[in-house]
Amino acid sequence: MKPSCCGSKINFFLPFGKIFPFDATFLPYLHRFNNSEGKGNSKGFKMAEKFESLMNIHGFDLGSRYTDLKPLGCGGNGLFFSAVDNDCDKRVAIKKIVLTDPQSVKHALCEIKIIRRLDHDNIVKVFEILGPSGSHVYIVQEYMETDLANVLEQGPLLEEHARLFMYQLRRGLKYIHSANVLHRDLKPANLFINTEDLVLKIGDFGLALIIDPHCSHKGHLSEGLVTKWYRSPRLLLSPNNYTKAIDMWAAGCIFAEILTGNTLFAGAHELEQMQLILESIPPHKPLTQLLPGLSREALDFLGQILTFSPMDRLTAEEALSHPYMSIYSFPMDEPISSHPFRIEDEVDDILNRLVKAQIALEEASQQPAEKEREKNQGFDFDSFIAGTIQLSSQHEPTDVVDKLNDLTSSVSQLELKSLISKSVS
C-alpha cells in the first residue's frame, strides 16, 4: 500500500485500519537495503550454494504450478524459498519440511495445526498446505520483502522506528497468546517486513507450542529450544519451563537490538548468557547504562519487560496499554483469538495423515524380514490412532494427559523400532 507524503512526514496506511505518522528518515534504511539486496554479497552466495545443495539432495516436486524458485533461508525445521504461483501470477514463500523421523513429524503436526487457525494482520498468512507426500510437507505462505535481521544489518534504527515495529510485534503477540500459543523462537530473522508499507509480521512457527492454562503440560514441554540469545532467565535455568512470558522477554531483547544494532545478550553458552543478563539488568545495573540516550518512557517500558522474574513481566496486552505505546494503541483494533487452542487440539485428524506418512517412509526402507519381525511385535498402529483421535470428545484434563502420555510412549516405540531397523541393516 503506497505511503502518502506531506512535508517531511509520511503517513503509512497499514492494513489494520490505522494511519501512522512516520518520519521520512527511515527511507535511507530502505534504500540501502533495496540497493544491497541481491547484489552479489557473500551471504547471498552462501545461501544460494546451500539452497542448491539441499535442492539436489531433497528435490522439490511442486509440479508446474510453482516456478522460478529462489532461496530465502533455512529455519530450524525447514528450508524456505520463494516461487511464482502461476495460478495467480504472484510470488509466494514456501517452507519445505522434511519428515525424517517421528520427532520431525510431531513438530510438523504442531506447526501446521497452529498456523491453520491463526489469522491476524501481524502474522504471516498461510495460503495452503501441500502434503504430506512421501517424506515432506510444503507450507505455502505470503511473500514478505525482507526480515528485521536483514534491515538491522544496515545499522540501528531510530527510537520512533523501533516503537512502530514493537507495537506491531506486541499486537501480534497479544493475539497469539490469546490463542494459547507460544511462539518460542522470536528473533529478528523471524519478524518479516514489507518495506513499502512498514508492516511487520511474525512468522516461522516451527517451534511453536500449544499451552492450555487449564491443564498441566508436565512432561510435554522439553522439545525445541528458543534461540539462546533470546532465552529468558527462567528458561535458561529450567529448559522446559515455558510460559507466555518467554516471548515477552525475547521481544524486549529485540527492541534493544533495534535501537543499538547489536544483540543485547550474546553469550557463547548458557552459563555466559545468564552471567550477561545478571550483570546487565536492574538491580545490578540501570538500563540507562545499557541503553544510553533512550527516552524515559522507553526505559520504563523496557524495564518492565526485561525483568528477571516472569511474574513481574508485562504481558502483551499490558505492553500495548503502556504509555509508551499510546501513540499507536487502539484496543478496539487489537483483536484476540475467537477460538483459542485447548490441550485436546494437540491431537486431531491431521495426526493420522502425518504419522502414517512417516510410518510408510520407515516401512519402505526396511527389509522384508525386519518388517515381518516388527509385525509380530503386536503394535496395532491403527487402533492407537483411533484412540488418540477420540481426544476431541474428552472433557477431563487428566484423561487428556493420560492420552498424551500414551502418544509420547507410542512415538518412542516408533523411534526405537527405527533404531533397531538401522542396526539390523
DSSP assignment letter at 123: B
Measured CA to CA in angstroms, residue 17 lies from 38, 114, 121, 244 at distances of 33, 25, 10, 27
Mode of pairing for the β-strands spanning 19-23 and 66-74? unpaired
CA torsion sign for 32, 34, 39, 40 is positive
Q: Which residues are catalytic?
A: 185
DSSP assignment letter at 188: G
Dump strand ranges (E) for 33-117. Answer: 66-74, 79-85, 90-98
**Amino acid making up residue 402:** D
Q: Give the helix ranges, DSSP H, for 218-310.
A: 233-237, 245-260, 270-280, 287-290, 296-303
Measured CA to CA in angstroms, residue 121 lies from 33, 176, 193, 356 at distances of 24, 11, 12, 34
Spatial separation of the C-alpha atoms in residues 158 and 150, rounded to whole Å: 16
CA 44 from centre of chain = 23
H or E, element range at 193: strand 191-194
SS3 142: strand
Spatial separation of the C-alpha atoms in residues 77 and 204, rounded to whole Å: 9
Task: Answer for the pair 252, 220: CB distance below 8 angstroms, yes or no.
Answer: no
